[in-house]
Structure 1
Amino acid sequence: MTGSGVHTQGEPVWVRTRDGRALYAMVLPGPAGATGVPTVVFEAGSAATRSTWALVQTRVAAFTRAVVYDRAGLGRSALDPAGRTLDRMADDLNDLLDGLEPSSGFVLVGHSAGGPIVRLAASRRPDRVAGLVLVDPTDEAADLLFGMPFRVGEKIVIAVEWVLARVGMLERFFRFLGEGMPEDVRADLHREAFRPAVVVTQGRQARTFLTELHAWQGDPPALPDVPVTVISGGLAHGTDGMPRRVRDAATAAGRYRAAQSRQGRHVVAAHSGHYIPATEPDLIAAEIRRLVLPPAG
């Protein structure tokens, strides 16, 4: 908690999806008098909760409203009994935006697997999207994602993580995510982010995610003509364990994705691996600010 008793990530908000499920969000209102600027909404990675965005969200709240939330089955949000397809996750994000309106548009920020989710959501409601920031996104331009070695490796990782979560050891391998976080955010991570149920949700998402994403190679979501910034990690190995060939493929895909937008921009986070929201939050916040408060003229 902050000194005033208010949570670092803001006020809790519950938003209902079109089929009645409850999504948990937290809202920092931004500075007083900040009107006419887009709201920034953050989409986390595959098994990540809202807490992973804390260092970026608090920086963005210095200039506009900043919103984090838990996808269904993660953090405090209700399970989705119908499955965790890209299609349903994008619809959930749009339902969240419905619950946050009115707003002067939205800048959507997605990390890792959150990248395709915000792209698909934006393609379905382009009228209210002011920009996208994709942080080391999973992208269909990286062909190695769809080969058998990667798919088998993903299944092995999820199986190992489930065992570690069951015996209470998963948090040890991701303790770096809490470094530098405020005490209340670290407490939320401890309570919510490393439970077996989180890994179960991750597995449910993974059942169709790569197959759906692969289909985008021939028919990607049509994005609105808005600024699109892609931020790629600059380091291989390290805490995220991403091999050099995977890092190179991810960076090349990020460069390609930015080039598909008339207002595209590709940035390398030179001091980060995959978990840029934890390691270079200032860089992400600065790129968001460029979209929310573009220079005059």
Structure 2
Amino acid sequence: MVNMRQVDCQGTAGRAKTRDGRELFYMELEGPAGGGPPATVVFEGGLAATRSYWALVQPDVAASARAVVYDCSGLGRSAPDPQPRDLARLADDLGNLLDHLGAGPFVLVGHSWGGPIVRRTAAARPERIAGLVLVDPTDEACDLLFDQSIRRVEKFRCWMAMALARVGLFGLLFRKVTAALPTDAAADMRVEAFTVRAARTMGAEQVAIEADLTALREYPPAIGDVPVTIISATQPTPGMNARARASVNASHAHRARQFPRGRHVYAQEADHMVPTTEPTVITDEITRLLKAL
């Protein structure tokens, strides 16, 4: 039951409990007044991304269907998690949120590390999943992700995030992101997304990534005949050269071919931060999927 309310561009606030009693903060827009597609669209952010990151996509999707964003444990207004934050734990939390929201069906939208999270969540109960949209997702088919130089970069980013958060400067790295958002969502992100707590959560989520990617290679989540769209960015991203981008996008093309109803599209104007650099491509793909229900 919703036990907290506020109104802003991302809708009405509520809290869902995980099986071990933690609270996950979410916001929902109810969809068109006259009804719409039966599916609820639920958005999963990337590594340490708060709900505010979806503020350019969620309201447009709500013109067609119920649309829900949330904060993972330890981010935004959600309670922290004392347990290790590996992929299984992240997917379980998303599954708990879906349990709270109702029977479904659900369209799950995941960006970056959110891609593996929604794949894992969908595989746990594919019968309630109407489709997936993976936005420039991390994918285990990309060999570069297993290079030890990537682990060093990850550790440096976590160290830098914590150092900058402690002096109140972490948010400066994401000025382009916050500048693109609606005023209220940008204000929430500035207050909530760049804290020491958020940096600590980023580090906790980063610890198991290599092991999780290895497990995904060995045991890819099986989701049956669920339709899947993968969106690849194309524009330069800091820290990702042209060779890396080509490798990432090749892994996306490969993943799309593994699904019976896989689709691979390109965000021609977007860097990795697709939800703020080309949100319409995400909205268009979600709408296309909803119309097919």
Corresponding residue of 1:19: 20
SS at match of 1:221: coil
CA contact (8 A) 1:242 1:273 kept: no
Corresponding residue of 2:3: none
Greater alpha carbon shift after TM alignment, 31-40 vs 147-156: 31-40
1:1-297 alignment runs, 5 A limit: 6-103=7-104, 105-237=105-237, 240-294=238-292
Normalising by structure 1, we get a TM-score of 0.94
CA contact (8 A) 1:59 1:285 kept: yes
CA contact (8 A) 1:134 1:230 kept: yes
Q: Percent identity?
A: 51
Deviation for aligned residue 1:173: 1.2
SS at match of 2:95: helix
Distance 2:234 2:256 in 1: 16
CA contact (8 A) 1:110 1:117 kept: yes
CA contact (8 A) 1:47 1:202 kept: yes
Deviation for aligned residue 1:95: 0.4
CA contact (8 A) 1:129 1:224 kept: no
The unaligned stretches of length 5 or more in structure 2 are: 1-5
Q: Which runs of 4+ in 1 moved over 6 A?
A: none
Q: Per-residue CA shift, 1:247-283, capped at 9, x if unaligned?
A: 1111111111111111111011011110000011111
Q: Per-residue CA shift, 1:119-157, capped at 9, x if unaligned?
A: 000000111000000000001001111111111111011
Distance 1:248 1:36 in 2: 36
Deviation for aligned residue 1:36: 4.5
Q: Per-residue CA shift, 1:90-126, capped at 9, x if unaligned?
A: 01101000000043x0000000000000000000011
SS at match of 2:213: helix
- Kindly report the root-mean-square deviation, in angstroms, between the aligned alpha carbons of the 2 structures: 1.2
SS at match of 1:15: strand
Deviation for aligned residue 1:179: 2.1
Q: Per-residue CA shift, 1:56-81, capped at 9, x if unaligned?
A: 00110010000000000111100111
CA contact (8 A) 1:85 1:209 kept: yes
Distance 1:154 1:72 in 2: 20
AA aligned opposite 2:122: A
Distance 1:188 1:120 in 2: 29
Deviation for aligned residue 1:35: 4.2
Distance 1:270 1:193 in 2: 27
SS at match of 1:179: helix
Q: Per-residue CA shift, 1:30-54, capped at 9, x if unaligned?
A: 0112245211000001011000011
AA aligned opposite 1:244: A
Normalising by structure 2, we get a TM-score of 0.96
Give the direction of change, closer, same or farther, for the CA distance of 1:221–1:102 in structure 2 (3 Å limit): closer
Q: Per-residue CA shift, 1:197-230, capped at 9, x if unaligned?
A: 1111011011112211112212111113111000
The unaligned stretches of length 5 or more in structure 1 are: none
